[in-house]
Structure 1
Amino acid sequence: MSGAINGLVPMVIETTGRGERAYDIFSLLLKERIVFVGTPIDAQVANLIVAQLLFLDRENPEREIQMYINSPGGGIYAGLAIYDTMQLVRAPLSTIAVGSTASFGTVLLSAGTKGRRYALPNATVHMHQPLMSGTMRGQATDLDIQAREILRLKNRLNNILSRHTGQPVEKIARDTDRDFFLTAQQALDYGLIDEVIGSASEIKKAEAATHAASAQADALQASVERGGS
């Protein structure tokens, strides 16, 4: 398989008993229930990610979806569309940081299913407060409206990060007041991820352990319910 050149998407030839079929690499990943967030997040990217998540959840709401993230972040509204869909889908959703997750990319990383949020050893995780794109223009009233909206979004994102990390909102606000960089281990200590992993086998091992613990909890709950009936 050749790498992408000048924006071209690499193709993969899959051979089956019915012959050969060509897939672009992202379609092949989707076939394996892998979603890759590897660009700045704008409305178009958000629509594609949302559509993939909804499709995979509808296809099988019990089978895990894996989301690999190597993104500098992007638009807050676009990011929130992905975030809300991640919370909506019924399928377990693991998130894996590769390279760098920054800004809203880190919000998405933290929003995976608890116990299934990972980072590769050399991943860098970054947080900061929301930025207003472009230069604010207009009358004083318009500027006030925009300022209040950016503060609303800042508070909303701080609360989201607090919910997924267990950190107090006040600490999130202090840490994100300026650019805040973390190593994979620091992201683990902060509560943004659940494990630092170094190989695909470790991902599978961690997923198997999480699945076994979940099955054990379900069996215990069923036993309690039977005993109470």
Structure 2
Amino acid sequence: MPQLWCISRSTASKTTTKGAMTIATPDKTKKENGLSDYGIIYISGAIDGGTAESVCKEIIEYNIKGEAEQIQMIINSPGGSCPAGFSIIDITEWSRIPIYTTGIGMIASMGLLIFMTGEKGRRVITPRTSILSHRFSAFNIGNHSQLIAGRKEEDLEHERILSHYQAYSNIKSKEELEKYLLRDVDTWLSPEEAIQYGIADRIEPLRKR
């Protein structure tokens, strides 16, 4: 079976320091400092099965307890596994509690798809957020017959991504999506362009000290 990845090819540093705030980016969901007590889920680093399991469990737990009026999902990710990312997307759509998304640092590839799934009108990015939209990459190992069989899943994955953009952007035709957001090459977007294409709702102005 092909390994399908929706991830930025560029490498991000392990830790970003801004003023007195340090944002670490391991490939796990951050739960330190009691963030979950405040309805906050923080996703950083590459999205894999472990990340998906942690995020999905948290969303399910919030829904079972029924105490949070909304969930705030903060995303700083270069992307990752397509199946892992879509499992987060499925649970986000399933949640009875609205999930607000905030993009910081980088929302790229599958990280962007997860961000887009947030509650309409509540998908916020910062002025310095890097935004990348592109097609997924596949890594295939197997004999000739296995590679041919795996091609079907690759085509299905592309259709899933197209359908997601059609649902969460203001571009509805396959042809226009492949022209503007899912081109043959990487598409880097400014926060203003993300607003224009309807994949984000608002740019959050940062307080100057």
Normalising to structure 1: TM-score of the pair? 0.73
CA distance in structure 2 between the partners assigned to 1:6 and 1:131 by the alignment: 22
Identity fraction in percent: 24
CA distance in structure 1 between the partners assigned to 2:175 and 2:22 by the alignment: 44
The amino acid that maps onto 1:160 is: H
**Shift in alpha-carbon separation, 1:73–1:179, aligned structure 2, 3 A:** same
Corresponding residue for residue 179 of structure 1: 186
CA distance in structure 2 between the partners assigned to 1:5 and 1:111 by the alignment: 24
Q: Give yes or no for contact 1:61–1:90 (8 Å, CA) kept in 2.
A: no
CA distance in structure 1 between the partners assigned to 2:188 and 2:108 by the alignment: 9
Q: Map of 1:91-170 to 2, 5 A cutoff?
A: 91-133=97-139, 136-168=140-172, 169-170=174-175
Corresponding residue for residue 85 of structure 1: 91
CA distance in structure 2 between the partners assigned to 1:110 and 1:2 by the alignment: 26
Deviations 1:73-108 (CA, angstroms, capped at 9, x unpaired): 100000010000000001111101101100100001
Q: Give yes or no for contact 2:195–2:201 (8 Å, CA) kept in 1.
A: yes
**Shift in alpha-carbon separation, 1:122–1:36, aligned structure 2, 3 A:** same
Corresponding residue for residue 32 of structure 2: 26
Corresponding residue for residue 50 of structure 2: 44
Corresponding residue for residue 65 of structure 2: 59
- Which structure shows the higher strand fraction? 2
CA distance in structure 1 between the partners assigned to 2:92 and 2:48 by the alignment: 16
The amino acid that maps onto 2:201 is: D
Deviations 1:22-75 (CA, angstroms, capped at 9, x unpaired): xx9635111110101111000011000001111112222760100011001100
**Shift in alpha-carbon separation, 1:34–1:166, aligned structure 2, 3 A:** same
Corresponding residue for residue 82 of structure 2: 76
How much has 1:6 moved relative to structure 2?
Answer: 11
Where does the alignment leave 5 or more consecutive residues of structure 1 unmatched?
A: 8-23, 201-229
RMSD, aligned α-carbons:
2.4
Greater relative contact order: 1 or 2 (C-alpha under 8 angstroms, separation 6 or more)? Answer: 2
CA distance in structure 2 between the partners assigned to 1:56 and 1:48 by the alignment: 12
- Which structure shows the higher helix fraction? 1
CA distance in structure 1 between the partners assigned to 2:151 and 2:99 by the alignment: 34
The amino acid that maps onto 1:142 is: Q
CA distance in structure 2 between the partners assigned to 1:121 and 1:75 by the alignment: 27
**Shift in alpha-carbon separation, 1:98–1:90, aligned structure 2, 3 A:** same
Deviations 1:161-212 (CA, angstroms, capped at 9, x unpaired): 1111121232222331321111111101110111111248xxxxxxxxxxxx
Normalising to structure 2: TM-score of the pair? 0.80
SS in 2 for 1:100: strand
Greater Rg over alpha carbons, structure: 1
Corresponding residue for residue 188 of structure 1: 195
Where does the alignment leave 5 or more consecutive residues of structure 2 unmatched?
A: 1-19
CA distance in structure 1 between the partners assigned to 2:54 and 2:25 by the alignment: 21
**Shift in alpha-carbon separation, 1:104–1:98, aligned structure 2, 3 A:** same
